[in-house]
Amino acid sequence: MQLEFLDFDYSEDEEGTATWDAVASVPAARLPRLEQEIVTLLDWAHEEFGPLRGPVETGGLWDYDLQCECDGQPLLALSYAPETGHLEPRPPSWPHEHVTLTLSLSGGPAFAQAFAARFGPI
């Protein structure tokens, strides 16, 4: 899958935990396309590794953090609801405004290998 909005920075710690961090800022009119890209990533992760989500240090195979920032508004934590396929709460947006979504994914070696196979090297 070719990612249009998310440009990840990759890092790995001494234990082999991989982390992908991306920040995407779009005009409100393009927010639905950015949301769909994030939903596609998180949907894949939930389908492949869902029950094993949680911090690697507590036994999880993968985890994520998703934040939304709108001009002049406080930072808002978002989550993905796999049962509905939507981000919750829905990121707010107003015409002529930029919305910034920040996504951080992390996972152990199995997750990293599957991520690279599905989305290509980042």
Q: Is residue 8 part of a domain?
A: no
pTM for this entry:
0.91
Tell me how many domains the chain contains. 1
> How many Cβ atoms are within 10 Å of 29's Cβ, its own excluded?
12
Q: Is the pLDDT of residue 119 over 80?
A: yes
- Which residue segment(s) compose the domain that 93 sits in? 24-114
Provide the token pair at 106: 């992390």
Cβ contact 22:6 at 8 Å: yes
Q: Is residue 9 part of a domain?
A: no
Q: Is residue 122 part of a domain?
A: no
Helix H, strand E, coil C: the string for 64-85 is EEEEEEECCCCCEEEEEECCCC
Q: Is residue 72 part of a domain?
A: yes
Q: Is the pLDDT of residue 76 over 70?
A: yes
Q: Is residue 36 part of a domain?
A: yes
